[in-house]
Every structure is written in C-alpha cells, then in structure tokens.
Amino acid sequence: MFKGFNIKDVTFDDVSSMKKEYIRKNRNQFFSIKSDFVIPIELYLKKGFVLDGNALKQGWFPSQNRFDIFISHSRDDEDLSYALAEWLYVNFNLTSFIDSLVWKHFSSLRQGLDSFFFKKYGTKYNSLFKDRVCQHVLLMLNTSLMEVMDRCECLFFLNTPQSVEVSEIGNYLTDSPWLFSEIGMFNSIQKKQRRRNLSEAQESAACFSKIQYKLNLSDFSTLDADDLNQWVNMVARNKRMQIKRHPLDTLYNYCSRKKK
C-alpha cells in the first residue's frame, strides 16, 4: 500500500452515466466476479478430523491476486462502489478490489462449518463452539482483507453519509466495525514504494448502530467530484501530448500540487 484517498462529495451520477441496474447486471465486464461454486467442507479435511484453515481461507477469501485500488465502502454504498470501480477501469484501466464482487460471503462458510460440525457432534455442537467457529471465519476474512490491502497500491475510502457521520469537533465517526478495521489496517501497515517500474511511468447493521469508532483519515488526500474530473482531463492531456505517465502517478502529482 502506497497512498490513501478520502473520496468525498462524490455521487453515483458523478462517476457513471449508466443506470444502477445496468452496472449490477453487467458488472462482470469490469470486475473479476467470484465463483459461485462452493467446495464441500469435507474436502478440506486433513488427518485426525482436522480442517485445513489455510485452504478454507484461500477457498473463500483468496488474497493472492493484485489490484490497483482497494475500495473501502459502506454496504449501503455498494452501487456507488461498483460505479467508481467501473469508472476507474474505463478511464484509466485500473482494477479495483471490492470484497462482495471477488469473495464468497463469510456467512456461507460459517453455515457450512456449522452444518459440518453438527453432523459430526450433534447437539454437543453448542453455542460455545458456534461462537468459536464464527471467530475463525471472521479472522480468516479480516486477515485476507489485510493481505489484499497490502498488495494494492492505493485505498479509496468512500466518505458518504452512509459510511460516516461528523462529530461536533470534526471527527469522522462510523458504526461499521469493518470500516473501522479497514482504515485501521491502512494506518498500521507499512507504506511501500510503488511496485511499478517508474521508468515506464514517466454488512449494513441496523442493530448496534450506536457503537461508533473514530476514523483516522489524516494521512488521506481528499478528492471530490471536481478532482476526479481534473484527473481524467490530465490523463487525457498526457495521452494527447504522448507523455507516458501512469494514471496513478498523475493523481499523486495533482495532489502534491493541490497541497501547495
């Protein structure tokens, strides 16, 4: 991970001329859609009735692929995240990671494990063991999120009324534990130089809504709809002038000038 961007005051209409229904139906043109095929839990068994946790994690939440941008968003902003990913791909040929499009849902793994262990242990598989299984699944998911984020070059955080509210003293607050985790990961993981060769670049939860976390966005560069349009225009100008510069490097330069 190299840099984070706070995408603020950007709406669906700012980044897409397509209807939401069209993007939902045709999103496989722009993304690596997850496979619906689920391998039976029994096939992950090792000797001694032990499940291979690494294989389960990789089967549901594969983290080996590399994406340009990690889009952190509220589940209520799913359509906006799809539109932004499509916009990034069409304008800059940049690939985006959106967990709901790439991974199977964690609840399907949890339910599969519950069924597997209930067949083995019956009523002895009680709520205590179910909580333990749920911990395994959630930590597999969280670890995979960190691994994917570390392999992306940028994080785009969709700052909307669905994802955050602003306190009286200007702090960003969220009731999403996943957004809290993702922003915390970004602030904690080691920032790396761009892996590209620079010579070429010349679960919305209605319950527990009052549990809030402060988001630290101090290291993020804020971009609004006008900034995104400026980015498109700058990349188009580079192409006209035959300047070979990666779109993300153009964005970094724009943000550096914007600070001055």
Distances (CA, A) of 114 to 44, 128, 136, 138, 242: 14, 12, 12, 14, 58
Residue 148 has, within 13 A of its CA and on its CB side, a CA count of 27
Q: Where are the domains of the chain?
A: 3-224
pTM, 2 dp? 0.84
Q: Is the dihedral of CA 7, 11, 13, 19 positive or negative?
A: positive
Q: pLDDT band for position 140 (50/70/90)?
A: very high
Q: What pLDDT digit, counting tens, does each position of 163-187 carry? A: 999 887 788 999 999 999 999 999 9
**pLDDT of res. 124:** 83
**pLDDT of res. 257:** 87
Q: pLDDT band for position 202 (50/70/90)?
A: very low
CB-based contacts of 254: which residues, under 8 Å, 6+ apart? 227, 230, 231, 234
Q: Say how many residues make up the chain.
A: 260
The percentage of the chain sitting over the pLDDT mark of 70, rounded to a whole number, equals: 85
The two structure tokens encoding residue 223: 């971009």
More confident residue, 120 or 8: 8
In contact, 137 and 57? CB cutoff 8 Å: no
CA distance 182 to 149: 9
Exposure string of 105-141, with b = 16+ CB inside 10 Å and e = fewer, is ebeebbebbbebbeeeeeeebeeeeeeebeebbeebb
In contact, 30 and 87? CB cutoff 8 Å: no
Q: In what order do the strands lie in the sheet with 96-97?
A: 96-97, 69-72, 154-159, 3-8, 220-223
Q: What pLDDT digit, counting tens, does each position of 24-70 carry? A: 666 655 555 555 567 788 888 887 778 999 999 999 999 888 899 99
CA distance 91 to 32: 18
Q: What pLDDT digit, counting tens, does each position of 81-119 carry? A: 989 998 998 899 999 999 988 888 888 899 999 998 888
